Amino acid sequence: MVDRQGLEALFRKHGYADFTWVDPKDIVVAHWVRMKCRFGCDEYGRTASCPPNVPSVDECRLFFNEYSAAVIFHFEKRVDAPEDRHAWTRSVNRKLLALEREVFISGHERAFLLFMDSCCLCPECAGTKAECRHPEGARPTPEALGVDVFSTVRPLGLPVEVLSDYDQPMNRYAFLLVE
Ligand code: SF4
């Protein structure tokens, strides 16, 4: 049984006010997302927590079905230069890891975080799971687990658009699965 009130108090303690509960069964998992990873993403095969170093799309769908609740955290950011987003991502993901740990310790043993964007805990990713420098902290993104973020957050009224330039504000989402 998920203690939503207690968890929301924890989220606020960590400075998060922009979050939305979602039934994990409403998290859309699709093969097209994995195709976009495999063809067109320069991080494919180059980071330890991205495809192909992740379960299959069908396994991901089964994984989400093991949970009864999930929280989507919304982050909005505009960066001056494309490379600036990595430092921002590192800082956001580190803070989210601290939250995941506290949720776990509060009695939610299945707590599992999906990072807002590629891991970025290290300035240079080691590239393979075997060489990962922080395997205890590395987490996949929703997209790495086949989540169609567009189709998942739109019905919740959350902003999400394809951007044509980095000077447009980004809307990014991290997911926290709890049971
Ligand atoms: S912790 Fe470092 S080495 Fe491991 S996936 Fe993240 S960035 Fe790569």
Span from the CA of 27 to the centroid of ligand 1 (angstroms): 25
Mention every residue, 6+ apart, whose C-beta is less than 8 A from residue 20.
71, 72, 74, 153, 156, 158
Task: For the chain, report the end-to-end CA distance as a whole number of angstroms.
Answer: 6
Which of 116, 133, 136 is the best mutation target for the ligand 1 pocket, counting ligand atoms within 8 Å of the beta carbon and taking the most? 133
Q: Rounded CA gap, 48 and 24, in Å?
A: 25
Asked whether 144 lines ligand 1 (CB < 6 A), one says no
The residue extents of the domains of the chain are 4-178
What string of H, E and C letters represents the secondary structure of the chain?
CCCHHHHHHHHHHCCCCCEEEECHHHCCECHHHHHHHHCCCCCCCCCCCCCCCCCCHHHHHHHHHCCCEEEEEEEEECCCCCCHHHHHHHHHHHHHHHHHHHHHHCCCCCCEEECCCCCCCCCCCCCCCCCCCCCCCCCCCCHHHCECHHHHHHHHCCCCCCCCCCCCCEEEEEEEEEC
Span from the CA of 72 to the centroid of ligand 1 (angstroms): 23
Asked whether 133 lines ligand 1 (CB < 6 A), one says yes
What pLDDT sits at residue 49? Answer: 93
Q: Rounded CA gap, 91 and 83, in Å?
A: 14
Pull the structure tokens for residue 146: 């086949």
For ligand 1, atom 8, the nearest C-alpha belongs to 125
Asked whether 113 lines ligand 1 (CB < 6 A), one says no
pTM of the predicted model as reported, rounded to 2 decimal places:
0.95
Pull the structure tokens for residue 88: 């921002």
Tens-level pLDDT at each residue, the chain (179 residues): 789 999 999 999 999 999 999 999 999 999 999 999 999 999 999 898 999 999 999 999 999 999 999 999 999 999 888 888 899 999 999 999 999 999 999 999 999 999 999 999 998 899 888 999 999 999 999 999 999 999 999 999 999 999 988 788 999 999 999 99
- Ligand 1: nearest atom to the Cα of 127: 8
